[in-house]
Structure 1
Amino acid sequence: MADEPDEVPGLDVPVTMFEDVEDLKAKVVHLTAQLEAIVGGRGSEPGDALAEGEKAAGGEAVDESGDEEEWQYPPFILLLDPPEYDDELRALIEWVEGVLVPGYLAEPSADARWCHLWWEHPVAIARLHAVWLAWQECTDPASCGYTGPSVWHRDHLDPALRELRGSSGPFAGCTKGEHQVDHRLPGLVPSAWTHAED
């Protein structure tokens, strides 16, 4: 060919450099696949980018259609229907009563309210479920590193407890020995929560 030089210079490149380059290619492919999975893939499955990238890098495509389930966004508990709602609420009650109440909730007072029947307050269910989902993610060092618990306390638990236990929170009408739900339920359900038939 006319474009090739007559003389090729001799390069003394260690073999390990080529191995390093291949390792970097594989890492880029893996990170690209993770990014595609997070942002939705735009028309492709999460494993497609990984398989295509590995083929392009000269590697073997890995069949990921096996036992792994596709990742889904967490559900908003108040929009679930039975039996999913019941299962999610049961798991939430176990976490709140087993972890949150004994570890984080002191004796209720006028400034820090709590209702022993908190699961009868939809606002409390929604907030506590969100805190629980964040706890599951933030206590996993694989997803959040070692700062996850600190982030969970600062960004999730503390604000949620302020809202729940405050004087205008869902437990405002609940005092020691008394339980009151009706004070927080709206007269009309917002249209975003129901689909009215025309």
Structure 2
Amino acid sequence: MADEKPDFEVPVGLFEDFEDLKAQVARLTAQLQTLTEGAGEEADEASADDVTAGAEEADRGDAPEDEWQYPPFILLLDPPQYDDELRALTEWVEGVLVPGYLAEPSSDARWCHLWFEHPVAVARLHALWLAWQELTDPASCGYTGPSVWHRDHLDPSMRELRGSSGPFAGCTKGEHQIDHRIPGLVPSAWRQNDA
């Protein structure tokens, strides 16, 4: 009788939670290893050339190849980087989002086929795309990432974009309008005027 194992079922969600935890532990272990390797080196062991080269690299905005860089927010980019990012965003919107998630536009669920001419829509869709890139990679977020993306990113974004007061409020099936209320001159922390 001591060799008998208890008969119980393990919920499927428990396996998904376990896979998420494994991915998080792997990510944290890699971060800890990177931090401890950097802390193990003595500051006085670094040569003056290394310090100078690192400062020049930081001034240029370059990062070592193995260091992950945050993606830029599209509204902060200038051409040609903006154009490249918009082109990549358009491929995702037209190739994934529109055919997979958007039903026929209506008065309750608006959509403009010229969405890329609406800066608010570009900003929201870009943020949605960045989240999609991160949350559909099981190595970085486990297997529940897509569910989180739907719940926390897709659904709220679509409510804001397609709602009657969203950026497509002036657009109907046959017409496109970007002449929404836009303030004249607004001080911005994003752009600095050349003095």
- The equivalent position to 1:181 in structure 2, one of 162, 178, 182, is 178
Aligned to 2:165: 168
| Mapping 1:2-151, distance limit 5 Å | 31=28, 34-35=31-32, 47=34, 49-50=36-37, 68-151=65-148
Distance 1:187 1:162 in 2: 27
Query: Structure 1 residues 112 and 33, CA, compared in 2 at 3 Å: closer, same or farther?
Result: same
Q: Sort the Cα spacing of 1:32 and 1:98 in 2 relative to 1 into closer, same or farther, 3 A.
A: closer
Counterparts in 2 of 1:87 and 1:196: CA distance versus 1, 3 Å = closer
Residues 187 and 142 of structure 1: CA distance in aligned 2, closer, same or farther (over 3 Å): same
Q: Once the two structures are aligned, what percentage of the paired residues are identical? A: 82
| Partners of 1:32 and 1:49 within 8 A in 2 | no
Corresponding residue for 2:55? none
> How far apart in 1 are the matches of 2:92 and 2:188?
32
Match of 1:191 in 2: 188
Q: Tell me which of the two structures has the higher relative contact order, counting C-alpha pairs closer than 8 angstroms and 6 or more residues apart.
A: 2
SS at match of 2:144: helix
Deviates more, 1:104-113 or 1:68-77: 68-77
Query: Which blocks of at least 5 consecutive residues in structure 2 are unaligned?
Result: 1-24, 42-63
CA distance in 2, matches of 1:155, 1:188: 33
Q: Using the TM superposition, give the Cα deviation of residue 139 of structure 1 relative to its aligned residue in structure 2, in angstroms.
A: 0.4
Q: Post-superposition shift, 1:48?
A: 6.0
4+ long deviations beyond 6 Å:
none
**1:73: how far off?**
1.6
Q: Structure 1, residues 156-194: CA drift from partner, whole Å, max 9, x if none?
A: 010000000011100000001100012143322333233
- Between the aligned partners of 1:97 and 1:35, the Cα distance in structure 2 is 39
Letter in 1 for 2:80: P
User: 2:155 matched to which residue of 1?
Assistant: 158
Shift in alpha-carbon separation, 1:81–1:146, aligned structure 2, 3 A: same
Code of the residue aligned with 2:145 in structure 1: it is G
**TM-score when normalising by structure 2:** 0.68
For the pair shown, which has the larger CA radius of gyration, 1 or 2?
1
CA RMSD in angstroms comes to 2.7
Mark the CA change 1:32 to 1:52 in structure 2 (over 3 Å): closer, same or farther: farther
Quick one: which amino acid aligns to residue 113 of structure 1?
Answer: R
